[in-house]
Amino acid sequence: MADRETKERKLIALMVNDLGPGFGEREMAGLHEEVHALPDDELDRTLVGRLDLPHSVDEETLEQALLHVEEPEELSRDNFTGAPDMSHEPRPEEREG
């Protein structure tokens, strides 16, 4: 059985694929928040609809269909948090002393 995190990632991958390239971190974070807020049953219904599966699909069929959804590289990175990258050097006015 696919876990919730996998289902969320696959739904986001489908949405990003529909919206096209050029998705920024802010938009990606917004998608993550929206998908994460979905109740389990609504997440499943949304995936079933997006994958053009019959409404009475069983969990195993849904899981098999999810295997064919390719995730963009930025979604499959383990370190994606949706937070802005703060690893830059401080600006002169931010430096102490």
Q: Provide the residue-wise pLDDT of the chain in tens; the chain has 97 residues.
A: 679 999 999 999 998 888 776 767 888 888 899 999 999 999 999 999 999 999 889 999 999 999 999 987 755 554 455 455 555 666 667 667 5
> Rounded to an integer, what distance in angstroms lies between the CA atom of residue 16 and that of residue 26?
13
Closest Cα to residue 83, out of 33, 22, 11? 33
Global pTM value? 0.69
How many residues belong to the chain?
Answer: 97
